[in-house]
Amino acid sequence: STQEKTLQICVVGSGPAGFYTAQHLLKQHPQAHVDIYEKQPVPFGLVRFGVAPDHPEVKNVINTFTQTAHSGRCAFWGNVEVGRDVTVPELREAYHAVVLSYGAEDHRALEIPGEELPGVCSARAFVGWYNGLPENRELEPDLSGDTAVILGQGNVALDVARILLTPPEHLERTDITKAALGVLRQSRVKTVWLVGRRGPLQVAFTIKVPRPRKRLTELLLRTATEKPGPEEAARRASASRAWGLRFFRSPQQVLPSPDGRRAAGVRLAVTRLEGVGEATRAVPTGDMEDLPCGLVLSSVGYKSRPVDPSVPFDSKLGVIPNVEGRVMDVPGLYCSGWVKRGPTGVIATTMTDSFLTGQMLLQDLKAGLLPSGPRPGYAAIQALLSSRGVRPVSFSDWEKLDAEEVARGQGTGKPREKLVDPQEMLRLLGH
């Protein structure tokens, strides 16, 4: 029967890695059935909770993911946290193969004194807040000071700087949350500094789409490295909002306010580059510089967490140790996306590496390395989840929430008003 021939695959995480892995397997194997488990009640990972609201075109990949989810051989199970609601060994028992695509949910710490002061927050949390990530919905960053310092100069740092400086009326027709828009409307932040340890040639902005990105990068570098002429200097002095790059600066300490209660600045060590090529390093010159500010955003990278004690994890690199997506020493277990490669690279990079993982899995299947005989798949997991009081959210449930969000946005000209409270989402679904 078809039941017996079905290749039962489990994917953990519904971001680009999860969806692209599923897409590849469904396309290349006519008997594959893929279940995607997701801890949030809603799908799409960082496409929903990371990509900036003023970059809506990036989110078009959601259409492709939706097509995949509509396949009769694919199912989405949201509101299921792997490692808590169901374990990886339980999944491995129920499926022929398990692919871990759960991304990078932590941020790297600065590891400097004062980091814990109020007024310091991770760019990850700030991004989660303006994008409606449930765990960050109550962040309410303090934007009452006139200067914000962002530690880091990557793409995420740029997104955050842009959101802080964009006049709120330009964000009104995006899917930014109502609450974030309200706080941004009251913002007094006028100046944003992006601080980096290295120089203009090493910054980590993506130069992806040749034209617009390249122009942006050129502009960034030019404004950062050239002295403005008198006219430009006057224009900048009168502009209400400004930003700048501080190169060759390494954060040493977050400086407390006089009463010690909150952040009031950052102490930076001046650095210079030593060595050549790959071995180039930023080393301190001994000079220090203090940058006063009311808000410090640390943007020095995302980091994956271990999901389950049965899965090997390299805590230094923050990835699951793997060879081309095959998890080391665990047959039938695979990984893709940021948890496989580390938290760098755009959606297109994630797509390529997810297809590759899918390919390795199918090679192993052909070589007889996956369990033979039928596997129960979701039937077994559903029984476990229901015994534990967990009620998964299906893709058609998500489509109801999606319609609700779109409807709520309509009155104000927004593409959607995101639901940010998981309890409310479940209530709307009658769970």
The binder of ligand FAD chosen from 40, 68, 153, 357 (CB under 6 A): 40
Q: Choose the binding region for ligand FAD from 134-142, 173-181, 230-238, 346-354 (rule: CB under 6 A).
A: 346-354
Q: Calculate the alpha carbon distances from 82 to 38, 124, 306, 400 in Å.
A: 8, 22, 11, 24
Q: Calculate the alpha carbon distances from 279 to 273, 274, 318, 424 in Å.
A: 10, 8, 22, 52
d(CA 328, CA 14): 23
Tell me if 347 contacts ligand FAD by CB under 6 A. yes
Tell me if 317 contacts ligand FAD by CB under 6 A. no
Tell me if 12 contacts ligand FAD by CB under 6 A. yes
Look up residue 386 and give its two tokens.
């229901």
The size of the interface with ligand FAD (CB under 6 A), counted in residues, is 35
The binder of ligand FAD chosen from 18, 114, 332, 409 (CB under 6 A): 18
Helix, strand, coil percentages, rounded to 5, for the chain: 40, 20, 40
Q: Which residues of 188-225 are buried (b: 16+ CB within 10 A; e: fewer)?
A: ebbbbbbbbbbbbeebeeeeeeeeeeeeebeebbeebe
d(CA 124, CA 301): 8
CB of 74 to ligand FAD, least distance (A): 16
Enumerate residues 6+ apart whose C-beta is below 8 A from 15: 44, 45, 46, 47, 101, 103, 337, 338, 350
Rg (CA), the chain: 23
Closer residue to ligand FAD in complex, CB, 210/260:
210
Per the CB < 8 A criterion, the answer to whether 375 and 389 are in contact is: no
Residues in region 404-423 near ligand FAD by CB under 6 A: none
Q: Choose the binding region for ligand FAD from 37-45, 138-146, 168-176, 410-418 (rule: CB under 6 A).
A: 37-45
Tell me if 301 contacts ligand FAD by CB under 6 A. no
Q: Choose the binding region for ligand FAD from 14-22, 288-296, 325-333, 420-428 (rule: CB under 6 A).
A: 14-22
Instruction: Please give the residue whose beta carbon sits closest to ligand FAD in the complex.
Output: 15
Closer residue to ligand FAD in complex, CB, 106/146:
106
> What is the DSSP secondary-structure string of 175-237?
S--HHHHHHHHT----EEEEE-SS-GGG------SHHHHHHHHHHHHHHHHSPPPHHHHHHHH
Q: Choose the binding region for ligand FAD from 46-54, 187-195, 230-238, 395-403 (rule: CB under 6 A).
A: 46-54
CB of 348 to ligand FAD, least distance (A): 6
Tell me if 37 contacts ligand FAD by CB under 6 A. yes
Tell me if 98 contacts ligand FAD by CB under 6 A. no
Residues in region 137-176 near ligand FAD by CB under 6 A: 156, 159
CB of 257 to ligand FAD, least distance (A): 29
CB of 22 to ligand FAD, least distance (A): 11
The binder of ligand FAD chosen from 132, 154, 199, 337 (CB under 6 A): 337
Closer residue to ligand FAD in complex, CB, 18/325:
18
CB of 347 to ligand FAD, least distance (A): 4
Tell me if 13 contacts ligand FAD by CB under 6 A. yes
Closer residue to ligand FAD in complex, CB, 156/295:
156
Closer residue to ligand FAD in complex, CB, 205/376:
205
Tell me if 83 contacts ligand FAD by CB under 6 A. yes
Tell me if 357 contacts ligand FAD by CB under 6 A. no
**Three state DSSP letters for 239-289:** CCCEEEEECCEEEEEEEECCCCCCEEEEEEEEEEEECCHHHCEEEEEEEEE
d(CA 385, CA 109): 34
* Residue 74 exposure: Cα atoms within 13 Å on the Cβ side: 24
Tell me if 90 contacts ligand FAD by CB under 6 A. no
Which one, of 225, 226, 264, lies nearest residue 247 by Cα? 225
Per the CB < 8 A criterion, the answer to whether 257 and 264 are in contact is: yes
Q: Return residues touching ligand FAD (CB under 6 A).
A: 12-18, 37-40, 45-46, 50-51, 55, 58, 81-83, 101-103, 105, 127, 156, 159, 302, 307, 337-338, 345-347, 350
